[in-house]
């Protein structure tokens, strides 16, 4: 798969989203939408939290992976797929490949945590390590694809990935009723591109706003400068949003359909995580609360509106989270 080789027109993307909804129905969880009077009183608007932390393998990534792999022709399925990721995309591709009986190879850093390594292998994928100091993981995955005839499943910059991720926001629009604003975590931009397409299709009046970690604000800078800014991500606990740049296709969709891009600090993410876990009883990962943090911190104060937020994932080390909370004031 060559990412965004010929960027499809908006109309074609909207059709792919509609098709993706059919494909994931009954396979991906239609995750619940959580609401909280305490949260609403705290931030002064009605908030609808789309719980993708309760998605299969614990993150929205299942949707894009399923949509993409389910569209592969038989020939490609027989040869198998390859993906590079140390995080949720790896587990998503591994799980979906098992469901569809497609051989999967995952390129992971040799320093990946044992927990994520085990989870990926438990799903039956072959894990190939790369050395951070040596060959780039993307190059290694491409080399494997070429040598073994595998189809490379990119983590975010592909129309099928985008369409799959967009099914989360599409469900939210149906579940929550009219939304004025939708807040979405941004790493490589697959989730927000899909969410923006869903808004265009189902609720064009809704403003879609992306949220990045402050230490990795390449997307916000790209949005302001009107060109893709590539910058290595600084230190942040939002490990799912450490991409150095948004994808090319995704940037086109962001430019066309997204209203704004803002950031959240690690301290704000920790406070938001603590609030969600202590008050809403939901386990979320740092990247997962990017959309909520600006509301709780007051950076964004859309008084009286109906706000959708995608809680994108819940794969976090609980011991690590408890350590963060020990140094974090309660909201």
326 interacts with a copy of itself by CB under 8 A: yes
To the query of whether residue 36 is one of the catalytic residues in this protein, the response is no
Strand partners, 81: 104, 151
Q: Judged by CB under 8 A, which of 2, 73, 318, 329 binds a copy of itself?
A: 318
| Cα 19 from Cα 156, distance rounded (Å) | 18
To the query of whether residue 216 is one of the catalytic residues in this protein, the response is yes
Question: CB under 8 A: which stretch of 63-71, 208-216, 237-245, 312-320 binds a copy of itself?
Answer: 312-320
User: Do 68 and 311 contact (CB within 8 A), yes or no?
Assistant: no
Dihedral sign computed on CA atoms, order 291, 296, 299, 303: positive
| Cα 48 from Cα 304, distance rounded (Å) | 13
- To a copy of itself, the closest distance from the beta carbon of 298 in angstroms equals 20
Give residues 25-64 in contact with a copy of itself (rule: CB under 8 A). 32, 34, 37, 53-54, 56, 58
Pull the structure tokens for residue 217: 């604000």
284 interacts with a copy of itself by CB under 8 A: yes
- To a copy of itself, the closest distance from the beta carbon of 44 in angstroms equals 18
Closest CA to 70 of 163, 143, 8, 138: 163
- To a copy of itself, the closest distance from the beta carbon of 262 in angstroms equals 26
Strand partners, 308: 48, 182
Pull the structure tokens for residue 95: 């799980």
Q: Judged by CB under 8 A, which of 283, 289, 296, 300 binds a copy of itself?
A: 283
User: Do 42 and 196 contact (CB within 8 A), yes or no?
Assistant: no
Chain residues binding a copy of itself by CB under 8 A are 32, 34, 37, 53-54, 56, 58, 274, 277-278, 280-284, 314, 318-319, 321-323, 325-326
Q: Would you name the residues annotated as active-site residues?
A: 61, 86, 212, 216, 218, 312
């Amino acid at each position: 798969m060559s990412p965004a080789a010929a960027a499809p027109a908006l109309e074609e993307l909207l059709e792919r989203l509609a098709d993706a909804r059919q494909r994931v129905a009954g396979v991906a969880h239609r995750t619940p939408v959580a609401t909280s009077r305490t949260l609403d009183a705290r931030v002064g608007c009605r908030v609808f939290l789309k719980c993708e932390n309760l998605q299969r393998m614990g993150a929205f990534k299942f949707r894009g992976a399923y949509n993409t792999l389910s569209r592969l022709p038989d020939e490609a399925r027989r040869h198998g797929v390859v993906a590079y990721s140390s995080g949720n995309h790896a587990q998503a591709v591994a799980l979906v490949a098992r469901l569809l009986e497609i051989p999967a190879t995952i390129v992971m850093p040799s320093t990946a945590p044992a927990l994520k390594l085990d989870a990926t292998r438990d799903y039956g994928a072959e894990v190939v390590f790369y050395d951070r100091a040596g060959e780039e993981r993307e190059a290694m995955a491409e080399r494997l694809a070429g040598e073994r005839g595998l189809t490379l499943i990119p983590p975010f910059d592909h129309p099928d990935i985008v369409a799959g991720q967009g099914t989360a926001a599409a469900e939210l629009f149906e579940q929550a009723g009219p939304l004025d604003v939708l807040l979405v975590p941004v790493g490589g931009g697959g989730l927000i591109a899909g969410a923006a397409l869903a808004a265009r299709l189902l609720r064009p009046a809704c403003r879609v706003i992306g949220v990045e970690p402050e230490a990795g604000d390449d997307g916000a800078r790209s949005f302001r400068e009107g060109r893709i800014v590539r910058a290595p991500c600084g230190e942040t606990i939002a490990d799912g949003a450490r991409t150095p740049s948004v994808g090319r296709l995704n940037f086109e969709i962001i430019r066309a359909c997204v209203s704004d891009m803002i950031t959240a600090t690690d301290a704000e993410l920790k406070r938001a995580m603590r609030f969600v876990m202590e008050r809403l009883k939901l386990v979320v990962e740092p990247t997962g609360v990017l959309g909520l943090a600006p509301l709780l911190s007051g950076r964004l104060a859309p008084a009286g509106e109906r706000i959708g937020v995608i809680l994108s994932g819940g794969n976090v080390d609980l011991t690590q989270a408890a350590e963060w909370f020990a140094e974090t004031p309660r909201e």
